[in-house]
Amino acid sequence: MILNEISRYFVDDDNSSGSKSRSIISSMAALKTSVESTFASSPINRPAGSKTMKLEKIRDAQQGFTPVLKRRSFSKLETSSSSTAAALTRDRTSYKVQDGAKSCGGLDYFEEMKQRFLSFKKNKYFEELEHFQNLAKAQSPKFMVIACADSRVCPSYILGLQPGETFMIRNVANLVPPLENGPSETNAALEFAVNTLEVQNILVIGHSDCGGIQALMRMQDDVDSRQSLTENWVVNAKVAKFRTKAYTAHLSFDQQCRHCEKESISRSILNLLTYPWIEERVRKELLFIHGGYYDLLNCTFEKWTLDYKGRKVDEEEVGRHSIKDHSFWS
């Protein structure tokens, strides 16, 4: 049975573990006898002598010892019983750590989310009940925000945006593809925000230490070399990369990435003007386009507004468009 097999794993091949090892094996044999005796005497809901029920109980007992069998690297006795105790302690500690990680990453975390939700309901929802009930019927945001999917960049949190104020889309590297690149989740959101909700402002927010921009700066320019979905997405900012390489070749990679983070915001702003229904509203001053840059390390925010001159911008002018209302929040 299972206890006999476990005892064999604890015994060295040359039987040199000594009297202390034999004592441990004797104790385990006694435990085996006790377990089997308990199985024999315990009441069951099936006729006495049911082989099926006995097998089920033995299987239950085996499941309790499965971790030991899987962790044979800690199972054999070494030259003394103290080393055996240390090995068993390491084995037990390992499983405690794994169980703790599972709990922290699963049920406990959702319990915390539940408490946050209930706190929101009590302290925000009921306090502003009329506002949230109106939101349940319709939305009329004045702003659209295009931000990065990075978990550290949460516009609602860092800018204090409230429910109903902002229509938001988040993607890798906060990019806006040009119209010529075809349909995407981002321009679908743009179409709805501008044509249906009639937002009055579009704010493109970039940030420092952007992984998407780093991927863009590292990738090869050859189309055939693109092997990931990320690379095929961030290539939408290839013009920003080319301009960065041209003007910052003497700088370090990190400095080039920081430059490209801001250059890509400018590229996305100008890509917005490739959509006729956006360009028309900007020209009529019904829609204003803004850029923003969040510095994670220093917790600063830079903001500027596109100064539209009433004409389309060609490739030679990319990155050199006029801006106004440039401010630095620190």
* CATH number, domain with residue 222: 3.40.1050.10
Answer yes or no: is 253 within a domain. yes
Answer yes or no: is 161 within a domain. yes
Answer yes or no: is 167 within a domain. yes
**CA-derived radius of gyration, the chain:** 32
Answer yes or no: is 249 within a domain. yes
Listed residue (259, 240, 221, 237) closest to 176, CA to CA:
237
Coil vs helix vs strand at 254: helix
Spatial neighbors of 150 by CB under 8 A, at least 6 apart, are 207, 210, 211
Q: How many angstroms separate the CA atoms of 95 and 99, rounded?
A: 6
Q: How many angstroms separate the CA atoms of 218 and 254, rounded?
A: 11
Question: Mind listing the pLDDT tens digit for each residue in 278-292?
Answer: 999 999 999 999 999
β-sheet bridge partners, residue 213:
none
Record the tokens describing residue 76, joined without a space.
């054999």
Range of the domain at 266: 142-329
Tens-of-pLDDT digits for all 330 residues of the chain? 433 443 443 444 444 444 444 544 455 555 455 545 544 444 444 444 444 444 444 444 444 444 433 343 333 334 444 444 444 444 444 444 444 444 555 568 999 999 999 999 999 999 999 999 999 999 999 999 999 999 999 999 999 999 999 999 999 999 999 999 999 999 999 999 999 999 999 999 999 999 999 999 999 877 666 678 999 999 999 999 999 999 999 999 999 999 999 999 999 999 999 999 999 999 999 999 999 999 999 999 999 999 987 555 554 444 456 889 999 999
Answer yes or no: is 97 within a domain. no
Q: How many angstroms separate the CA atoms of 206 and 265, rounded?
A: 6
Per the structure, the count of domains in the chain is 1
Annotation-wise, does 148 bind a ligand? Answer: yes
Q: How many angstroms separate the CA atoms of 204 and 293, rounded?
A: 8
Answer yes or no: is 43 within a domain. no
Answer yes or no: is 93 within a domain. no
Answer yes or no: is 65 within a domain. no
